[in-house]
Amino acid sequence: MNIAIIGGGISGLTTAFYIKQFKPEAKITLFEKEDYLGGKMHTVNKNGFLIEEGSNGFLSNKPDTLELVKLSGLENLLLRSSDNARKRYIFHKSLEILPESAMAFIKTPLLSIKGKLRVLGEIFAPAKKDDSDESLQDFGYRRVGKEMTDVFLDAMVAGIYASTPKKISAPAAFPAVVKLEREYGSLFRGMIAKKKKEAGPGGILMSFKGGVSTFIEQLETKIDMNIIKNKEIQKVQKNENGFKVISDELEMDFDKVVLCSPAYDSAKILQNLSPTISKKLFDIEYSPVSVIGLGYDALEHDLEGFGLLTTSEAKKEVLGILWDSSIFFDRAEKGKKLLRVMIGGQRNPNLALKNEDELIKMAINGIKEIMNIDIKPNIVYVKKHVKAIPNYKVGHLANIKIIFDKLKDINGLFLNSNAYNGVGLNDCISNSKKCAKTVVGIE
């Protein structure tokens, strides 16, 4: 079995890894358009500050990521977040700690008494009668009320998807939460029932020593495959026995092809082979996000915690500020501090596309306004992601159903990336394991 994988992000690498686990004799060629693998998992070392351009970690309560790390023999790279990183903050009208217990929720100034009572009323709110799609805003307003949605859900969806409750589909982006309503009629009732059934520990935020790139670089060496970097695939054509994979100065034949590139790149690659799939892939929208890393040789601020997210109503230019050096100790040398600021998303897409100087100015200003830090950083690093994260808008599930139904007509062609069923590293890894099973025909 001769297989092409297009795209060397975590989805492509994990798919390759599991194909070899399930079928060691499979021959794999992985094509990547950049000169490095990892895609959105990429660490840059600037004067000893380890700056993540994208993801910085994953929660340990989903088994598939830890299984991949273990099977690839890379457990020695695992890095646990500091205990302080459990503390998260929200900036709505002022900077407040995210309540983690019922008592803290009662005391938090983030919601009014009326807003809190409305949250408690969730248990009595009637369940939706059908399975139709709806925005997170509509879902939130129905279940937990406007205030909770505009503060907590708004900040959370900015942090995970760089989106807004209005612009994202609840069933596509938060399937487990929507399932609670469908199965138990109420989120509270569902959570209580689940807690009784699965009394397991909550997840711990984990990453890798030296940043996520260390893991990617090591994983790359553990998979027996042919890796072709700096090669942007332009087209995949059907031929008699399988497929022809085409780029400038290269044409290679394969039995099967797995597209692990972002939806808009896969759409271009499939334009001739399946105009219908291609059109639907182009419909998957992406949110722009710029990441600004700021390193300080000395900073009088204890930065105890994971960081903060702002709400739309706070009307700040920054979506959030991550206190990276207090989450993972090795992101800055002892005594130094590293912050990462996120700008843009669906809330303010145009801000993410501003030039570097303007982005740095906005980041520094955000840190000053929200955290009261008014000193110049010693280093800055900007990564502009014009298309950072897929925005699963209302209609996403119907759209991907058409894509995957149509895909069944093209035997041997597969699609797998964060564009379809989850954007977190845990989702990408578990979806890639499933995809590998389908490719080798064991599921």
Residues of this chain that bind ligand FAD (CB under 6 A): 6-12, 31-34, 39-41, 54-58, 232-233, 260-262, 265, 269, 289, 291, 385, 388-389, 417-418, 423-425, 428
d(CA 177, CA 182): 9
Identify which of residues 193 and 353 has a Cβ nearer to ligand FAD in the complex.
353
Cβ-based nearer residue to ligand FAD, 11 or 399: 11
Give least dist CB 345 to ligand FAD, A: 10
Nearer to ligand FAD, 6 or 277 (CB): 6
CB nearer ligand FAD, residue 59 or residue 402: 59
Q: Is 59 exposed, middle or buried (CB count within 10 Å of its CB: 0-12, 13-18, 19+)?
A: middle
Using DSSP bridges, classify how beta strands 307-310 and 88-91 pair: parallel, antiparallel or unpaired.
parallel
Query: To which residue do tokens 């989702």 refer?
Result: 427
Q: Of the two residues 156 and 289, which places its CB atom closer to ligand FAD in the complex?
A: 289
Contact predicate 245/254, CB 8 Å: yes
Give dist(CA 316, CA 320) in Å, integer: 9
310 vs 93: CA distance, rounded Å: 9
CB 332, CB 47: distance < 8 Å: no
Structure tokens at 389: 């994260």
Choose between 79 and 260: whose C-beta lies nearer to ligand FAD: 260
Distance CA 392, CA 172 (A): 6
Distance from the Cα of residue 2 to its chain's centroid: 30
Decide whether 40 or 116 has the Cβ nearer to ligand FAD: 40
What's the closest the beta carbon of residue 131 comes to ligand FAD, in angstroms?
26
- The two tokens of residue 96 are 């407040």
Least Å distance, CB 17 to ligand FAD, is 12
Q: How far is the CB of 419 from ligand FAD (least distance, A)?
A: 7
C-beta of 18 vs 141, nearer to ligand FAD = 18
Nearest approach in angstroms of CB 270 to ligand FAD is 11
The nearer residue to ligand FAD, 141 or 381, going by C-beta atoms, is 381
- Burial (CB count within 10 angstroms: exposed 0-12, middle 13-18, buried 19+), residue 197: exposed
Measured from the CB of residue 381, what is the shortest distance to ligand FAD in angstroms? 13
CA distance 171 to 394: 9
Q: What is the rounded CA–CA span in Å between residue 335 and residue 392?
A: 40
For the bound state, the minimum distance from the C-beta of residue 41 to ligand FAD, rounded and expressed in Å, comes to 5
Closer of 177 and 227 to ligand FAD (Cβ): 227
* Cα radius of gyration rounded to whole Å, the chain: 22
Nearest distance in Å: CB 112, ligand FAD: 31
57 or 295, CB closer to ligand FAD? 57
Please, what is the minimum distance in Å from the beta carbon of residue 38 to ligand FAD? 7
Q: How far is the CB of 11 from ligand FAD (least distance, A)?
A: 3
CB under 8 Å to 339, separation ≥6 — which residues?
Answer: 293, 294, 296, 303, 307, 321, 322, 323, 324, 325, 367, 377
